[in-house]
Each structure stands twice: as C-alpha cells, then as structure tokens.
Amino acid sequence: MDNQKKYSSLKKYFTIVCILFSSFTFLGQQDFKITENYLLFEDAKTGEPVLVYNDSMAVRGFDFKTHFKINFPEDLLIIDFNNYQYQIDQVNYFVHDGCGIVLKFENNTFTRIDNSFKHRNQYFGIPFVHDNTMYLWGGYGLFTFKNILTYYDFSGKEWLEKKQLSKDIITPRYLAYYINKGTDLYVFGGKNKSQSNPSESKFLDDNYVYRLDLKNFSWHKEKRFDLNFQLIEEDIFKRNIFQVEDRFIKVTDAIQELNIFTNSVKKYAIKNHKGTKKIIYHKKSKSVSYIYYSNSEYLVFNELYSEFRGDLLSESTFYKDEMGVYILKILLLIVMVITIYVLFRILITKYQASKNNFVFNNTTDTIYFNKNKIYLTPQSIKVLKYFIEKKDVFISINELNIILSEDLDKENYITINKRRERVLKELAFEISTLLGISKESVFLTRNNEFDKRLKEIKLNISVKVKA
C-alpha cells in the first residue's frame, strides 16, 4: 500500500514537471512560420530588425514579437530584394537582385517608386550610398561580367550609368568584396569568367585592392594582397557579408574578419552554429539578426555580435610580403633596361637600313640600289615588278608561273616550276648580298589559310617606286 502511494506521488510530480517543461518550451518557440520567400532588414529609422516572413505579414523588434500586415507588390518575389538594401535619410530602399525595380519602405509600407524594369544586368554587384544616392557597381548579367557603375535618379525614377575615371584598371567582376570608409570604396577579389570553361566562373587572379575615390569617381590601384589568401567559399544564394567598423565580415560555416587597414585576417568559429541562411548587422546595438534552419523550419534570432562570434581559429596577414614586392620591382627595372636596349638596337638597325634604299623605275623597268643601277635578268625584273605591285599582300606562289611562261598550256609544269625557283634564288641572292642579310629573310612565306597545301609568298623589303 505504501509503495502504491509512493508510486502515485512520483507519477504526480513527474506529470507536473512535464507540464512545466512543456510550457517553457512552448513559450520559447516561435509563434509564426517563416516561408522561403522572406526579407530580413534593419529599419533605417529605429535601427531594429524587420522580418517579412510571408506574402502578407511581417514582424519587427529585437524580440520579433510585433507583427503587422504588409502590402508587398503582388507581381514581385520578396526574396529577390535581400541583396541590395539601402538606407537614406532614415528611409529604407530595396533594389531588385539584377537591378532596376526600386521599393521604398516607410511607416510599415512598401511602395514601388521607379519607372524601370527588371534589368537582370547586375547580379551580385556592390551596393553603396554616397551623397544620398544609391549606387551599384559591377555584377553579372546578360552573359557578361561588369565594371560599370550605375546610380538611381530619384527625379527621373530610372537607373543611369555614372562615368568613372581610369575605369579600365579594374577587371570586371561579380561577388567582389568591399569596404566603405569615408569617401572611398575599397574593392578586391571576386569572380570572372573561366577561360577553360566560359559557362563557369572562377576566382580572379588579380590580387590587388582597388580604391574608388567617391569625390571624383576615379579608380586607384592600391596594395597587392597575398595570392595564397582566399576567403571562405560561399553559397551565392545565401551571401552573408557585412561591415563592422573598418572590418569586412563574411559568415558561412565560420566567420572571417578581414581588416585591410591593419593587414589582419582572422577566422572564428560560430559559437552556437545554427546553419545561418541570412544575417544582418545592427550598428547601433552592435548585434546581429539572422535566420537559420533547424528541425525543418526557418527560425529568426537576435544577439550581440560578440556572443554570436566564437573562438579564434586562425590568424594571418592579408597583404603580400613587401620584400617580395621590392624584389619584383627590381626585376621589372632590369627588364625595362633590357627592353630599352633592345629597342635602341632595333632603331639603329632601322636607321642603317634606311640608308640602303631600293628604287624601281616603273617607266624603264630598272632597279637601283643607293642610286646605282642593278643588273638583273629580264625574268627577275618581271617577278620583282609583280612583287612590288602586290607589296601589301601575300600572293600564291603559282601566280609567278604566269609571269615566267609565255604559254602555260604548251610548257611543261615542272619546267616552269624550276624556272620560278631559279629566279627566286637569283633575287634572294642579289638582294641579300646588297643588304648584308640572309637570303631567307628576303621573302616571307606561309601556307594558305584555307588550303594548307598551297604556298603563299611576299617580298620582305621596302622598294620605292618612281614613275
């Protein structure tokens, strides 16, 4: 009997504990469902996170408890506006992933403000604000990589291209990394077309940091970073990058902090790894809000960045060893000196060659070298005259057969060919002897572009023609 009472009491206590545990679990659970078509951003006016979690509802606040209805344009996908987010005068603006369409968010309301369309021309570019203007640099679209800079004209409600000075020094790219500091935009890394497989992209071999001076929109090449450095590979469909003070932050299965001003690269673990899908940084509160995937559902959370970031895993430098750069400069200087010497020798040779002039008198069919008449056979004169007439093009070597034969139908083909070869050898010998060059350099020869069996020839010396 006593055992039954004890068992009954234990059962009662166990039931109470289970109820309490279930209550706390329920209270800690998210009371709304996030669909795949979501939008996470920071309210420009309040600095708190806002999450649009389906087509008609959103929630705001660091605790994600304040729900409100939205009126997102029906013909647009919410998730297409996650990558290009701008804040101007405490108002949020969102640009379609490929550029074009612009939405304004104010007083819990989304409004389309552009007269544009889906450009599909600048996917994974660099968004930034300067002088209360939205800019977008680089990206990929319409089968090409970009280094263009576009901006949104609020008065015309369209996107226009901004002129850049020294634009060609920076390679077109997408998925580039960037840092804003004052009136400068620093850009490095990214991807471009693979030469081996044009349908794929690869990390750029260009390992320079570039600076766009926003005062006059001129590009400048800065320091070179280490070729061995590579940011963690990412899933482009959940690109999580942001800036904390002067540090560039990238979140994948770890956290990478890069400071190009202090030459520091640090890799951290994520303290409570949750498979982050989307993350934003709040400058005022120094916290992060992020969406993660757990137990087959999307969840959202906010915490201090210092709590989100775990232990330091590794640390390295960013820039290439300066001694190596110095040695490279010395080698380049040596190459430059050698190049100048070679060019000087070429100029001397050309000058000496200019003193050795061939002149052909078209009236008398006479050839002169340095004003002295050169005596050639009549057949050699005919061939030389034909070469002079065709001086700018390669001719079929068989064309010379017509010149060297009075009747092609009656003469033997082999005989004509032997005559042609004899005349060419005579010309090569006479000209090379006068100029002091090799016989092989008197003529240029090649195979026909369309029929490799056919040989083409061209005179390789300059002859002035006098009427």
pLDDT tens readout for residues 179-230:
999 999 999 999 998 877 877 888 888 889 999 999 999 999 999 888 666 6
**Does the 33-320 domain belong in CATH 2.120.10.80?**
yes
Tell me, what's the pLDDT at 238? 59
Assign 349 a pLDDT band (cuts: 50, 70, 90): low
Assign 24 a pLDDT band (cuts: 50, 70, 90): very low
Assign 390 a pLDDT band (cuts: 50, 70, 90): confident
Q: Name the E strands within 142-271.
A: 144-153, 158-161, 177-181, 184-188, 191-193, 201-203, 208-213, 218-224, 241-244, 247-251, 255-259, 264-270
Tell me, what's the pLDDT at 300? 96
Tell me, what's the pLDDT at 462? 84
Give the mean pLDDT of the chain: 86
At residue 7, does pLDDT exceed 80? Answer: no
Assign 8 a pLDDT band (cuts: 50, 70, 90): low
Burial pattern 253-288, b for ≥16 Cβ within 10 A else e, equals ebbbbbbbeeeebbbbebeeeeebbbbbbbeebebb
Question: How would DSSP label each residue in 391-449?
Answer: TTS-EETTHHHHHT-S-TTTS-HHHHHHHHHHHHHHHHHHHHHHHT--GGGSEEEEE-S
**Does the 356-466 domain belong in CATH 1.10.10.10?**
yes
Which of 244-253, 283-292, 365-374 is predicted with the least confidence, judged by mean pLDDT?
365-374
Q: What percentage of the chain reaches a pLDDT higher than 70?
A: 88
Token pair in block for residue 408: 């092609």
Domain ranges of the chain: 33-320, 321-349, 356-466
Which region holds residue 107: left if phi is over 0, alpha if psi is between -120 and 50, else beta?
left
- In this predicted model, what pLDDT tens digit does every residue of 392-414 receive, in sequence order? 889 888 888 888 887 777 788 88
Give the residue with greater pLDDT, 4 vs 60.
60
